[in-house]
Amino acid sequence: MISRQTPETIQAALARGTVLLAKSSDSPRLDAQLLLAHVLGKEPSWLVAHAESYLARMQAERFTGLLAKRAAGTPVAHAIGMWSFYGRSFEVNESVLVPRPETEHLVEAAVAYLGRRLEAHAFTKHLFTLLDVGVGSGAIACSIAAEFPTVVVDGTDVSEDAVKVAERNARRFNVHGRCKFIVGDLTQPVSHKQYDAVIANLPYVPSADVAALRGSDPDVALDGGPDGLDHYRRLLPALPPVLKADYLVLLEAAPPTIRTLAELVHDALPDATVAIERDYGGRERYVAASRERAATR
């Protein structure tokens, strides 16, 4: 007689995972859900609706393997090599910052802005251009390219490995024809071009705090110098030459530094309207600067 393990339901597997991760994670149930959803190729919400369904043995084994990784301290994103951002699943690895929900606000703001501008140009063949400085996984660049078929995006990053991840994500969402990712510092590789919008989520964690951050993000994606604004201080003087006459600039930073950043933006772009915007947690998270020429009569 062939001995078989008793099949496990989704509900039972999640209960087992939650117990196993209780010591190593602050969110054991959510982590177990994300890991199991990945194994099954479904959204986490699907699990809730199928709690009584049975797992195949291979699925239960893969889940057990991922639980072991997570229990050993590997973040969920790195255990599964994927992370969800603005409704899409991005490939991530140790060379890129795992995209954070606060950055979705910048994407939302850019989508609203580009949507307005595209509507105003509905009958022209105008292509809108966007630059993502410090493109990382390509989360911002690919999300915006995927929303608008008439937007072309350039992205730069000092990390060659990050650029490779961003390129794979662009192919994943079938936007690689309109996304160009280049290895280089800030705007340096594209200093001869002009853009309708520039977005940057540069490393902004004060150097002294980098070591204390948990997770596996690379230091190069986090370290922003003594007060966290070093990269923005270098970026801002380089912005005017890469901006069109009408533009939007969105820069994410740490809440305690956002007012200083807004002042730096104001000095660098004296014609712009500058605003500080909040994230989902209500914290001041990014600076928006825009300029619109008065309509000609």
Query: Interface mask (CB under 6 A) for ligand GLN, residues 205-244, using x and -?
Result: x-------x--------x----------------------
Q: Which is nearer to ligand GLN, 93 or 201 (CB)?
A: 201
> Of the listed pieces 113-121, 179-187, 199-207, 256-264, which binds ligand GLN according to CB under 6 A?
199-207
| Nearest CA among 25, 28, 110 for reference residue 36 | 28
Q: Is 47 in the site for ligand GLN (CB under 6 A)?
A: no
Q: Is 203 in the site for ligand GLN (CB under 6 A)?
A: yes
Residue 217 phi, psi (nearest 5): -70, 145
> Of the listed pieces 32-40, 41-49, 181-189, 203-211, which binds ligand GLN according to CB under 6 A?
203-211
Site for ligand GLN in 94-113 (CB under 6 A): 97, 100
> Of the listed pieces 75-83, 112-120, 176-184, 195-203, which binds ligand GLN according to CB under 6 A?
195-203
Q: Which is nearer to ligand GLN, 130 or 133 (CB)?
A: 133
Smallest gap from Cβ 294 to ligand GLN, in A, equals 35
Question: Crossing angle of helices 10-21/57-71, nearest 10°?
Answer: 20
Binding residues for ligand GLN, total number by CB under 6 A: 9
Smallest gap from Cβ 100 to ligand GLN, in A, equals 5
Task: Please select the residue that binds ligand GLN; options are 18, 33, 169, 201, rule is CB under 6 A.
Answer: 201
Task: Please select the residue that binds ligand GLN; options are 86, 90, 204, 247, rule is CB under 6 A.
Answer: 204
Smallest gap from Cβ 101 to ligand GLN, in A, equals 9
State the residues that interact with ligand GLN by CB under 6 A: 97, 100, 201-205, 213, 222
